[in-house]
Amino acid sequence: MKLKDFKLETFFAKYEFNVKHLMCASDCESFTVGDLLKLEDIAEIHLKNHWLGYTESLGHPDLRKEIAKLYDKVSYDDILVFSGAEEGIFVFMNVFLNKGDHVIVQFPAYQSLFEVAHSIGCEVTKWQMHDDNNWELDIDFLKESIKKNTKCIILNLPHSPTGYITSKKTFKEIVKIAEENNIFIFSDEVYRFLEFDEEDRLPTMCDVYDQSVSLGVMSKSFGLAGLRIGWIASKNHHVLKQLSSFKNYTTICSSAPSEFFSILALRNKDIILKRNLKIIQDNLKLLDEFFTKFEKYIKWVRPKAGSVAFPRLLIDKDVEMFCLNLLEKKGVLLMPSTNFDYGTSHFRIGFGRKNMPDALYHLEDYIKDQF
C-alpha cells in the first residue's frame, strides 16, 4: 500500500509552529496540564501515582466508561480507544475495505477519509458539497451513486472544513438509504458538541444504525489534541474485534498519562465545552462583522458548528498565492483549498483559538492594502 502525500498535514508541518498568527487551526484552544489538574482537588495526587506501564489495549475501562457517557445507547464495551482520530480512520479503512470496493465520501474532506480507501484500491466517489447552496448535501446524488459494490458511506458531520450540519431529516434519509442498500456508514463526528445551537445536534450514528461506526476524539471539541486520544464507538462487535486486532500492529495501546488526562477532562466535559463554545461565539461575532464588511471580495457561509469554516475568494486570484502573500506580508496563516484538492478559491479559517482577534486584525489590514 502506497499513500499519497497528506497535503494539509505537510503544509502544517512547514508553517504551523513558526508563524506569527495561526488562523487555520482545526481545533479549539488547548489547556495546560495545570489547567486540567485544577478541575479536581485530588487530581494531582492521582497523577503522581498513575502507573506508567502498558495500558489495556481496548483503552482504560474508566476512559471507555466516560466516552460511553457521550452517547445515549452506547456502553463501554462498544468503545475502542485509538491514538487520535487519525489512527481510527486508518485502522477502520484497512480492516473494512478491500480492493475493488466502492465508497462514497462527503467532499471536501480531511484527506485520510478518502486517501486510505484510494490507496487500498477502492473506487472512490466524492459526494461534492458546494457553497452556492450552503454546502447542503444532495440526497439524489447519493442515491444515484450507489453501485452493487458500494460498501461504505463516509460522513463527517459536523463537517470540516465547512462547519456544515445536515438537517435531522436529511440525516435520517441517509441512514435509510444505507439500510435499504446494506451499506455500512463510517461517521466522523470529531466536531460533535460544538453545535452553536444545541437543537442542531444530530444523533450519533452508532446510536441509530448498527451497521456503522462513530469516530470521536479529544482534539477538536475538547481542545486536547496533544493527548492523541481518539475512539471508535460501534454496536457492531464483529467490526470492533477486527479493529482491535489490527491495532496490535499499530500502537497496541494508548499513552497512560493521556488516558489519565482524558478521563479527567471528560468527567468535566461541561466546563471544557462551555469554555470552548464561548471562545468560538466571541470569535464568530468578529468574523460576521469582518465578512459583512468585505462581502464584495469574500463569500461567507456562516458555519453551524465546529471551529472551522471555508470562505471563498470572489476575486480573480489564486487562493494559494493569496495565502502565501498574506503569510509573507502579515504573518497570518490561512489554509488554501488546494490542500483539500478543492479548487483554487476557498480557504479554511479556524476560530477556536483565543488569538483569533489579533490574527483577524492583521488579515483585515492585508485586505485593505489589497483592495
Ligand X SMILES: Cc1ncc(COP(=O)(O)O)c(C=O)c1O
Distance (Å, whole) CA 243 – CA 337:
32
Nearest residue to ligand X, scored by beta-carbon proximity:
84
- Measure the CA–CA gap between 193 and 177, rounded to whole angstroms: 26
Q: Which stretch in 45-53, 60-68, 83-91, 177-185 sits in contact with ligand X by CB under 6 A?
A: 83-91
Least gap, CB of 220 to ligand X (angstroms): 7
End-to-end CA distance of the chain, in Å?
47
> Which triple of cell numbers denotes residue 99?
480492493
Among 219, 244, 254, 283, binds ligand X (CB under 6 A): 219
Rounded alpha-carbon distances, angstroms, from residue 351 to 24, 166, 285, 298: 8, 21, 11, 17
* Shortest reach from residue 243's CB to ligand X, in Å: 15
Report the residue from 25, 68, 81, 85 that binds ligand X according to the rule CB under 6 A. 85
Dihedral pair phi/psi, residue 304, rounded to 5°: -110, -10
Print the binding letters for residues 170-189 with ligand X: x by CB under 6 A, - otherwise. ------------------x-
Give the residue with the Cβ less far from ligand X, 290 or 307: 307
Shortest Cβ 260–ligand X spacing (Å): 18
Complete edge-to-edge strand list for the sheet that includes strand 347-350: 308-309, 347-350, 335-336
In whole angstroms, what is the distance from residue 158 CA to residue 127 CA?
Answer: 15
> Of 153, 183, 190, 309, which one interacts with ligand X (CB under 6 A)?
190
Looking at the Cβ atoms of 78 and 189, the one nearer to ligand X is 189
For residue 225, the minimal CB distance to ligand X (Å) is: 5
Name the segment binding ligand X (CB under 6 A); options: 55-63, 80-88, 236-244, 263-271. Answer: 80-88
Give Cα 49 distance to the centre of its chain: 33
Distance of closest approach, residue 153 Cβ to ligand X, in angstroms: 15
Q: Contacting ligand X (CB under 6 A), which of 23, 25, 26, 352?
A: 26
Nearest-angstrom CA–CA distance, 187 and 194: 16
| Contacting residue, 86, 115, 189, 195, with ligand X by CB under 6 A | 86
Q: Nearest approach, Cβ of 340 to ligand X (angstroms)? A: 11
- Residue whose CB is less far from ligand X, 43 or 103: 103
Binding-site string for ligand X from residue 142 to residue 171, where x marks contact by CB under 6 A and - marks none:
--------------x---x-----------
In the complex, least distance from residue 22 CB atom to ligand X, rounded to whole angstroms: 14
DSSP string, 243-304: HHHHHTTTTSS--HHHHHHHHHHHHTHHHHHHHHHHHHHHHHHHHHHHHHHTTTTEE----S
Identify residues 198-217 at the interface with ligand X (CB under 6 A). 217
Q: Which residues neighbour 6 within 8 Å (Cβ) at sequence distance 6 or greater?
A: 111, 112, 115
Among 110, 114, 310, 340, binds ligand X (CB under 6 A): 110
Of 269, 298, 275, whose CA–CA distance to 360 is shortest? 298
Q: Establish if 225 lies at the interface with ligand X (CB under 6 A).
A: yes
φ/ψ bin of 178: left (φ > 0), alpha (ψ from -120 to 50), beta (otherwise):
alpha
**Spatial distance between the Cα atoms of 337 and 109, rounded to a whole number of angstroms:** 11
The stretch among 38-46, 51-59, 79-87, 93-101 that binds ligand X (CB under 6 A) is 79-87
Q: What CA dihedral angle connects 67, 73, 76 and 80, to 10 degrees?
A: -70
Residues near ligand X (CB under 6 A)? 26, 84-86, 110, 156, 160, 188, 190, 217, 219, 225, 230
